[in-house]
Amino acid sequence: MTHTIFIDGEAGTTGLEIRERLEARNDLELILLGERRRDVAARREALNSADAVILCLPDDAAKEAVSMIDNPSVRVIDASTAFRVDPAWTYGFAEMDAGQRAAIAASTRVSNPGCYPTGFIGLMRPLVRAGLVPASHPVTVNAVSGYSGGGKAMIAEFEAEGASTAYRAYGLTQKHKHVPEMTKHTGLTLPVLFAPAVGNYRQGMLVEVPLHLSALPETPSVERLHGALLEAYEGQRFVEVADLDETEAMTGIEPEALNGTNRMRLHVFGDRGGEQARLVALLDNLGKGASGAAVQNLNIMLGLDEATGLT
């Protein structure tokens, strides 16, 4: 059976990545509007005739697109931040909970996670659920992404002839749009202190959570933190937990190491007998952090093997 797919916003960074992943598949047929992609009537027709729609639009435009859909059988994946904390939408992080895949499969409205939140939630949610980090604990997350995460404008800036920016911290007002999503889906009750940055490389990211173990109940060991992550992601295809021996032997970690994949690797760094730990998630901000996750969610919603087109 061939499924019809419409990508609304296919000319953007995420839309182009998703199209590239889907157009080679013979089980899907893409609805392409070409020069008519800004034609409201053409978009409305495509939005209501496709089996599944993937929205790669700014928040307000995504909300407008959803309002144009009146066919109840159309399944929608939204890649913006518009619906990520909306209880009427299913959060599209399949590995987040044991029942999350089933919830995605049964839903007609799925919000694709953000790239930074994917890394942070992947690290922190299992620890909060296991009681190793209290829900009321103040948590800081430091992260760096390739400049592709900023879209076309940032790509043009960093790739312009003579551009010299090596690294830039941003989100300095502490009002970053990812904070509500990161806080809600980890089960934390205090807003996350989020310190994002962009580096002078195209894609790939590191998301890091430093922890003072002595400030946590029972001072959990590095081994206990690692064990909680192992238990949470046992048997997963796209989320893996690095072995402690492997992690201890590392002298650095490369943010581009998983580029072009839908994988995420979680590390627990720290002295096994010490009182501090550094939790680090490695992923491709355009892969598991965006287009890869969207394709994975699409496969789940259509009842296909979730790895189709991703390996």
Establish whether 56 is a catalytic residue: no
Within this chain, do residues 102 and 131 fall inside the same structural domain, yes or no? no
Which range marks the domain in which residue 51 is found?
Answer: 3-113+290-301
Residues 169 and 47 in one domain: no
pLDDT of res. 149: 83
* Domain identity same for 74 and 202: no
Q: Is 306 part of a structural domain of the chain? A: no
Distance CA 40, CA 61 (A): 12
| H or E segment and range at residue 180 | helix 179-184
Q: Is residue 107 part of a domain?
A: yes
Same domain, residue pair 92 and 222: no
Domain holding 297: CATH number? 3.40.50.720
What is the per-residue pLDDT for 228?
98
Same domain, 48 and 134: no
One domain, residues 69 and 79:
yes
80 and 216 housed in the same domain: no
- Do 225 and 88 share a structural domain? no
Q: Which pLDDT belongs to residue 36? A: 86
Whether the CB-CB separation of 242 and 265 falls below 8 Å is answered with yes
User: How many domains is the chain built from?
Assistant: 2
Q: For residue 271, is it within any domain?
A: yes
Instruction: State whether 184 and 196 are in the same domain.
Output: yes
Q: Residue 308 domain-assigned?
A: no
Q: Residue 147 maps to which CATH number?
A: 3.30.360.10
Whether residues 244 and 188 fall in one domain: yes
pLDDT tens digits in sequence order for the chain, 311 residues long: 799 999 999 888 899 999 999 998 999 999 998 888 888 999 999 999 999 999 999 999 999 999 999 999 999 999 999 999 999 999 999 999 999 999 999 999 999 999 999 999 999 999 999 999 999 999 999 999 999 888 788 888 888 877 888 888 988 888 888 999 999 999 999 999 999 999 999 999 999 999 999 999 989 999 999 999 999 999 999 999 999 999 999 999 999 999 999 999 999 999 888 899 999 999 999 999 999 999 999 999 999 999 999 98
pTM, to two decimals = 0.95
With respect to residue 307, please indicate whether it lies within any of the assigned structural domains: no
Q: With b meaning 16 or more CB within 10 Å and e meaning fewer, what string describes 26-47?
A: eebbebebeeebeeeeebebbb
Q: 2 is written with which tokens? A: 């061939």
Residue 204 located in a structural domain: yes
Is the residue at 311 inside a domain?
A: no
User: Is 238 part of any domain?
Assistant: yes
83 plus 184 within the same structural domain: no
Residue 78 and residue 69: Cα distance in Å, rounded? 13
Structure tokens at 107: 């839903």
Residues 155 and 60 in one domain: no
pLDDT value for 70? 96
Which of 22, 82, 115, 188 is the catalytic position?
115
